[in-house]
Amino acid sequence: MLPTRPVARNVTLGEVMLSPYGLDIIESCLTCKMRAERLFCDLPTSALQSFESIKYATAYPKGAVLFVEGQAPRGIFVLCKGRVKLSICATDGKTLILKIAEPGEVLGLSATVSGKPYELTAETIDPCQVNFVKREDFLRFLREHSDACFKVAEQLSEKYNNACHEVRSLGLSHSAGEKLAKLLLEWSSKNGEANKQEPRLKLALTHEEIAQMIGTSRETVTRLFADFKKRQIVQAKGSTLVIRNKVALKALATNN
C-alpha cells in the first residue's frame, strides 16, 4: 500500500543525493533554499534543528498513497517537492478531490493534532519528496516551539478556509457548468493570469479528475468543455487552455 523508499538519513548536512525517482532530494531543512518561501518551513534555526532531528526524508513515486481516510494518524507529511491529490471517498466508491496540494503544505495535520483518523486520502500525482514526522515527535515539537505552533495554526486556518470554500462551491452551485467555470477562473487567478485579457492555464488534470473536483461525472466535464469551446468561451491549445471570453465565463460562474 505504501511504496515508501526511505532515504538514508546519515548524510552530511546540505548534501544532495539522487533518489530512485529522479528527484534531487533535499536532505537537510537547514540548507533548503526553498524554505523562506514556505509557510511552515520558515522557522527559526533552533526550531528547524529540532525538526531536522525528528523528520524522515522520503521519496515516493507517482501514484503512491501517503495515507488513507479512516486510518489512525501516524504523523504529518511535509510536502517538499511534487504534488499530492487530497480526496474523500463515499462508501459507494465515489471520489471527490478537495485539493491538489503544492510543495510547502503539511498533510495530515488536523488528524495528527486531534488524534482522530485521517479525514482525507493523500495520493501523489508526481514523484514527490516528503518529510515525515511521527505523531508523538510532532506533538512534542509543537509544545516546545511556539513559532512552529503558530505556523501550524496558520496552516490549519488556510485549510479551514479552503474547506469552507469547497462546501460553498459544492453545496450552493446550481449546475456543473457553474462549478466548472468557477474552477477555471480560480486556476487562472492562481497562475497570476487573472488580469490578462485572455488568461491561459495549464490543464494538469484529466477530465475524470476535474469531474472529481466538482462532484460530477467525466462525461459531463467532456460535454461542458465541448460546449465552452463551441461558444468560443475557451480554446484548447494542447494541454493549455485559453480563456477567450472571460466575461461569459464569469457570468456562468455567477449563474447569470
Asked whether position 206 contacts another protein by CB under 8 A, the answer is: no
Q: In the chain, count H helices and then E strands.
A: 8, 14
Interacting residue with another protein among 34, 54, 100, 170 (CB under 8 A): 170
Which whole-number Å values give the CA distances from 253 to 109, 134, 181, in the listed order? Answer: 32, 42, 5
Q: Enter the DSSP assignment of 120.
A: S
Asked whether position 158 contacts another protein by CB under 8 A, the answer is: yes
Near another protein by CB under 8 A, which window of 28-36, 49-57, 143-151, 227-235? 143-151
> What residue has cell string 455567477?
254
Contact 73, 136 (CB under 8 A): no
What does the alpha-carbon distance between residue 154 and residue 158 come to, in Å, rounded to a whole number? 6
Nearest approach, Cβ of residue 247 and another protein (Å): 16
> Which residues in the 212-241 window bind another protein by CB under 8 A?
215
Q: Which is nearer to another protein, 124 or 173 (CB)?
A: 173
Interacting residue with another protein among 140, 143, 190, 196 (CB under 8 A): 143
Distance of CA 90 to the CA centre of its chain: 20
Interacting residue with another protein among 28, 58, 110, 188 (CB under 8 A): 110
Asked whether position 150 contacts another protein by CB under 8 A, the answer is: yes
